């Protein structure tokens, strides 16, 4: 698994990754499996280089660390949206909005973060209060509070 794939896998599993000096900081570390630890060891230099690719990383300190986390999160969101066949420009714009949401503490969610969503459809539409399973791209791209939401977890 390459560094970018590993970053995506960690993000999909609910973990954040940041570079602090020569260290990789994974939160929450309690979610790391032995397999993921081994994969991290294998690609550590590549992953550090990838995380340091954020422009603000030229400035050391807490602001740089925050930028790293934001950039890693943005990349994970873009990757997830692209897997769900979102156009690249839309995926990048919405990923930026989601990073802002995370920063602000806004608790609303989007369909694309939900395990019940696949392109154009909601498998949990009754619990979501929808009359049918069809979910338009406009609805999927809204931040909302949904009673049917369950976070996406990769198998």
CA of residue 28 relative to chain centroid, distance = 14
Residues 126-155: x where in contact with ligand SF4 by CB under 6 A, - otherwise, as a string: --x-x----x----------x-xx------
Residue-by-residue DSSP string for 41-66:
HHHHHHHHHHHTTSGGGGS-SHHHHH
Residue 151 preceded by cis peptide, ω within 30: no
How many positions of this chain bind ligand SF4 (CB under 6 A)?
A: 13
Residues 70-109: x where in contact with ligand SF4 by CB under 6 A, - otherwise, as a string: ----------------------------------------
- Rounded to whole angstroms, the Cα distance separating 60 from 142 reads 35
For the CB of residue 77, give the shortest distance to ligand SF4 in the complex, in Å: 15
Backbone angles phi, psi at 17, to 5 degrees: -130, 135
Contacts to ligand SF4 by CB under 6 A: 111, 114, 116-117, 122, 124-125, 128, 130, 135, 146, 148-149
């Amino acid at each position: 698994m390459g560094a970018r794939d590993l970053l995506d896998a960690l993000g999909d599993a609910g973990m954040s990754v940041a570079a602090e000096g020569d260290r990789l900081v994974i939160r929450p570390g309690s979610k790391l499996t032995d397999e993921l630890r081994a994969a991290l060891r294998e690609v550590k230099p590549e992953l550090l280089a990838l995380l340091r690719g954020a422009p603000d990383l030229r400035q050391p300190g807490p602001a740089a660390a925050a930028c790293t986390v934001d950039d890693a999160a943005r990349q994970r969101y873009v990757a997830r949206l692209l897997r769900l066949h979102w156009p690249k420009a839309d995926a990048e714009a919405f990923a930026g909005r989601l990073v802002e949401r995370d920063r602000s503490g806004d608790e609303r969610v989007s369909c694309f973060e939900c395990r019940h969503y696949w392109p154009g459809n909601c498998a949990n539409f009754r619990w979501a209060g929808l009359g049918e399973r069809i979910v338009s791209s406009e609805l999927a791209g809204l931040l909302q509070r949904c009673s049917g939401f369950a976070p996406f977890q990769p198998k």
